[in-house]
Amino acid sequence: MDFEFTPDEKRFREDVRAFVRGHLPKDVSEKVVQGKRLEKEDYLRWHRALHQQGWIGHTWPKDFGGTGWNAVQQYIFEEECADAGAPQTMPFGLRMVAPVIMKFGSQAQKDYFLPRILSGEDWWCQGYSEPGSGSDLASLKTRAVRDGDSYVVTGQKIWTTLGHYGDWIFCLVRTDTRTEKRQDGISFLLVDMKTPGITVRPIILMDQGHEVNEVFFDEVRVPAENLVHEEGKGWTVAKYLLGYERMGTGNIAVSKRELARVKAMAGPLLDDPRFRDKLTRVEVELMALEITNMRFLDQLRGGRAPGAEVSLLKIKGTEIQQSLTELMMQTAGPFAQAFRPVDNMDFDHFTARLAARYCNMRKTTIYAGSNEIQRNIIAKAVLGL
């Protein structure tokens, strides 16, 4: 691939930059840059601005209402958004369940759900992990029993990110317990979060933030028409979705912004050869990851779905995110330790939230399949070991 930007691509960058600078709410970008917690409306304000411009589906094909942008245009767009401090568009609808509906959904599901995802009318969350079923997802126990034109769902999901905002949840459920292979008895359901029998309970993290939840299903009736693909074929759907999820976990554009912040804050630490060596190593790894990501994006535009090799992006991208928080903690020194306001210190200052961010980012090597699982996937599916 040629990594030099063409004149057309440079003009595209200027167009994107002008739009982002002119339409991104200033108070939202300040929250992002300063590491403050975002509310639902913060995400939706930016979502609506992009939707009005016709850019919210920047990874979607034109046939489904997307931009049809190529890999370079997607990359430029995401880089400019991150550089300006734009919040990330919520991936659960746009980048995860939408590709699944495009690939496996019925025409009625495509006609109903995809426009509502684009408009932001529906906020989606993910129902995969359960207590005791995380990396070993095939051991899930949430049951869905067919009863006439409905499935009756009973069970529990956990670590449901922003599920307290959710309008809909896509769930892996067990519809057959008699199969020898556990994956063969799993199905993929779309569930309205307003359905009677659903309870959402918060899980408060060590930074005191409410980001994740437990979701309980007590004989929840789900129309059978909300089954995606075939009954018992949910594992095929789940693997397809996870490929798209892992494509998005690298967060390369955000990492580039945070790398620039580390450099700006480092000051005299740049004279320390050990710190400089760590910083240089992360920068080189980020450059390599960026090029690898561009190759995968180029394959997607050619019609190929993400394969097992996207686990490389997940592993290295999440490790880089953690390394950047470690370096940032080092640059801030004692000020990075504060979780609460202290004397003579403004808690709105960015460094006052570094410890909380550091702790929060420990999750990145676990979600979307732990990095240990990703290495197993690469060994078996890519290297053939």
The C-alpha atoms of residue 325 and residue 262 are separated, in whole angstroms, by 9
- DSSP one-letter code for 132: T
The C-alpha atoms of residue 177 and residue 175 are separated, in whole angstroms, by 7
Secondary structure (DSSP) of 199-239: EEEEEE-TTS-EEEEEEEEEEEEEEGGGEESSTT-HHHHHH
Please give the structure tokens belonging to residue 267.
């000051």
Partner residues linked to 170 by β-bridges? 126, 190
Please give the structure tokens belonging to residue 306.
């993400």
Q: Which residues contact 296 (CB under 8 A, 6 or more apart)?
A: 247, 306, 309, 310, 313
Q: Name the maximum alpha-carbon separation found in the chain.
A: 71
The C-alpha atoms of residue 352 and residue 65 are separated, in whole angstroms, by 42
245 belongs to the catalytic site: yes
Which is the catalytic residue, given 245, 283, 319, 372? 245
Integer Rg of the chain from CA: 21
Enumerate the active-site residues.
245
